[in-house]
Structure 1
């Protein structure tokens, strides 16, 4: 920690290590500014790559916004972003985070996209006393999955996203809109997300039972499984009309194909993670229409960026115009990460002191494109929550559209349609 606090900073025109696959560097016009380095870890390749689909678009826009520097205590600072691929592997995420901290000497590290990325990155930051901001992971697998204790929390690592209580509330709100039997089949992989969602105490079982639902949980399956016959048979025997859980896209594709082959026809399928992305739904063809999931962010969210001023609708349409691809939910949260970074850099008492940067993170009270980010309001130390609703995939004029159909817990986010049964 001491060596990190006392190390000298590179000037923006000086030579720097070129270890990262994406380094957004200074221009000559700002060569005399001191440089603050931000490390960024994301699953650009592997089964979680859908979460990083918009990385290039977001990083390019942020670099342009940061090009003139950020003022802190009357002095301009150049911001250099060094982005590395976790390859959707927790071990690789820890490795590149360590490289960013120890070799690239980043001053702040940010990460997103499931516990497989944010947890190992946060752990490396905590060990080394590096300020860290993460998102795109329910707070329970982030916090308790890292051994967090509510009374003490962590020193250097902070997280913003929703929690399991929010996704359960959104799912129950969605299911309440249909007249179907309260029989639910649960699909939970043997990974950080699946173990959290299926946990008997903190996961889905207790709230579903309290709401009158019967959950059939056949047990944890190994990610990238090629056979879901046991789960399908259990769901058929229990008469499950609803299927829920948390899966990676390849696993859901296998399950959904085998469900059709084996004659299992639930009326509602609401799956976290796998059904977030239009590319996944498009790959399922007509059997993708009517599937449902949580909605963290959309073009209709009534929030704007504190960094650029763009609305959610404009950010989404800008991505589509630049990429030719439909909007995807992580766009908003990847952008919000850098909103928080910019706000922290502007407010920190001393950017040469990691402790001062951590203090500025903890004191954040910012309206972002995904909603308010304010670590003073909990639910536990180092965690703050963003709003969540639920949506269903539909086709409008041949184009896929994720319509918000349940918003009881975040009524400020408008509905876009009504739930229809499969």
Structure 2
């Protein structure tokens, strides 16, 4: 199938199952998982009315990564008023429609629905996040079909190198903002300095995009830790969804591991850490990415969640405001808890910021009917958002903008079973520390 840009699509969307191809465009008043499209428009008195602008959004509403998509209904509901005003481009007022697709936490599904949004729904701009398994296939579809794409909530190395990115040239249509493995390494080791250990680290990496990037022999965690004087115990990649971690635990125990570091999914970490407790493996420090990004994941572990540390990429105590609502980070988190009855969660800030950046890019586009014009507005972004300043130009590669990262720890909560608090801010001093780090309770 030829696209309107002259490329051949990797998937013939005409062959997709009819039920999966159906455009789901119900209102926000429908059930949570049905919130898949909405549009709002308030014509300005001084501007003529133009065509509707379509933004595609691929997110894991279901499956093992659903914690990332848990905030989407709230974010879209909250931003409805901001987007109801439409966007003015070159004196013409345009309505804005956001078309959301559930990737089901499956990379193939993410690629498939991204192709639908691009080839059939003819979106103008794509936004995406929620780990490499979700963001990478969507970004690849956009790059292939020449659709501007803004992505986040994926460390930049798995997003860039796993997709075959060349630092000398970068990508043409896909742009990303988040932190990188260098920031994770700095954040992890800065936290570890506060607890005396034997500096023996057991790494826990799945055979997936995140695990392979974090475990990369050149750019990953292991070579950096070795240079810093740590002994690294790597039992090899486990299969995502693995139920039995006994062999890995035995190897860690035999090597005297006192620190665990990795990037497992929430279900995988729950299996691993529960079995570790049952088998008497009690390291002093456990620091994992992705696994405990959500309060629900910590609650699912029960008491053994206390003391687990992680990179903290967004929290209510950040001194930033939304460019769309004017809310501080704390006000956004408070509003989320009031409306949903749930505890704030890290993806909230970044999901909100994706639409801050998207609207800013659209406003600065010279020609909304020219995809290259929208694309060219992305790297000139200089925007203060609820997650901090987003600006391309000073990143490690041309397509990447870096954002702040600090160290966080799960402790017993007051209003909630567990609270994620900032325990180290060496990499971002403007974000306040909230507590001293403690070792894993024994």
Question: Under a length normalisation based on structure 2, what TM-score does the superposition of the two structures give?
Answer: 0.90
Q: Secondary structure at the match of 1:240?
A: coil
Looking at structure 1, the residues matched to 261 and 188 of structure 2 have their Cα atoms a distance apart, in angstroms, of 9
Looking at structure 2, the residues matched to 316 and 398 of structure 1 have their Cα atoms a distance apart, in angstroms, of 14
Q: Secondary structure at the match of 1:307?
A: coil
The 8 Å contact of residues 49 and 93 in structure 2, kept in 1 or not, is answered as: no
Give the match for residue 422 of structure 2: 404
Give the match for residue 18 of structure 1: 23
CA RMSD of aligned residues (A): 1.7
Q: Which residue among 134, 137, 154 is the counterpart of 1:117? A: 134
The 8 Å contact of residues 3 and 145 in structure 2, kept in 1 or not, is answered as: no
Q: Deviations over 1:42-73 (max 9, x none)?
A: 00000000111101000112222110111222
- Show structure 1 runs of 5+ residues with no match: 6-16
Give the match for residue 279 of structure 1: 296
Q: Secondary structure at the match of 2:343?
A: coil
Q: How far is the alpha carbon of 1:308 from its aligned partner?
A: 1.5
Q: Does residue 184 of structure 2 align to residue 167 of structure 1? A: yes
- Show structure 2 runs of 5+ residues with no match: 7-21, 26-33
Give the match for residue 86 of structure 1: 103
Give the match for residue 293 of structure 1: 310
The 8 Å contact of residues 306 and 412 in structure 2, kept in 1 or not, is answered as: yes
Q: Secondary structure at the match of 1:222?
A: coil
Q: Deviations over 1:321-359 (max 9, x none)?
A: 010000000001111110111111111111110010011
Indicate the larger mover: 130-139 or 63-72. Answer: 63-72
Looking at structure 2, the residues matched to 404 and 250 of structure 1 have their Cα atoms a distance apart, in angstroms, of 24
Looking at structure 1, the residues matched to 3 and 138 of structure 2 have their Cα atoms a distance apart, in angstroms, of 20
Looking at structure 1, the residues matched to 328 and 51 of structure 2 have their Cα atoms a distance apart, in angstroms, of 31
Looking at structure 1, the residues matched to 24 and 415 of structure 2 have their Cα atoms a distance apart, in angstroms, of 44
The equivalences for 1:225-236 within 5 A come to 225-236=242-253
Q: How far is the alpha carbon of 1:396 from its aligned partner?
A: 3.2
Q: Does residue 119 of structure 2 align to residue 102 of structure 1? A: yes
Question: Under a length normalisation based on structure 1, what TM-score does the superposition of the two structures give?
Answer: 0.95
Looking at structure 1, the residues matched to 351 and 197 of structure 2 have their Cα atoms a distance apart, in angstroms, of 37
Q: Which residue among 415, 418, 421 is the counterpart of 2:436? A: 418
Looking at structure 2, the residues matched to 321 and 4 of structure 1 have their Cα atoms a distance apart, in angstroms, of 45
Looking at structure 1, the residues matched to 415 and 230 of structure 2 have their Cα atoms a distance apart, in angstroms, of 35
Q: Deviations over 1:112-168 (max 9, x none)?
A: 100011100000001110010000000000000100000100111000000000011
Question: Structure 1 residues 77, 398: CA separation in 2 closer, same or farther (over 3 Å shift)?
Answer: closer
Q: Does residue 342 of structure 2 align to residue 325 of structure 1? A: yes
Q: Does residue 394 of structure 2 align to residue 394 of structure 1? A: no
Q: How far is the alpha carbon of 1:376 from its aligned partner?
A: 1.1
Q: Which residue among 76, 81, 84 is the counterpart of 1:59? A: 76
Looking at structure 2, the residues matched to 184 and 64 of structure 1 have their Cα atoms a distance apart, in angstroms, of 49
The 8 Å contact of residues 4 and 354 in structure 1, kept in 2 or not, is answered as: no
Give the match for residue 372 of structure 2: 355
Q: How far is the alpha carbon of 1:373 from its aligned partner?
A: 1.1
Q: How far is the alpha carbon of 1:276 from its aligned partner?
A: 1.2
The 8 Å contact of residues 185 and 217 in structure 1, kept in 2 or not, is answered as: yes
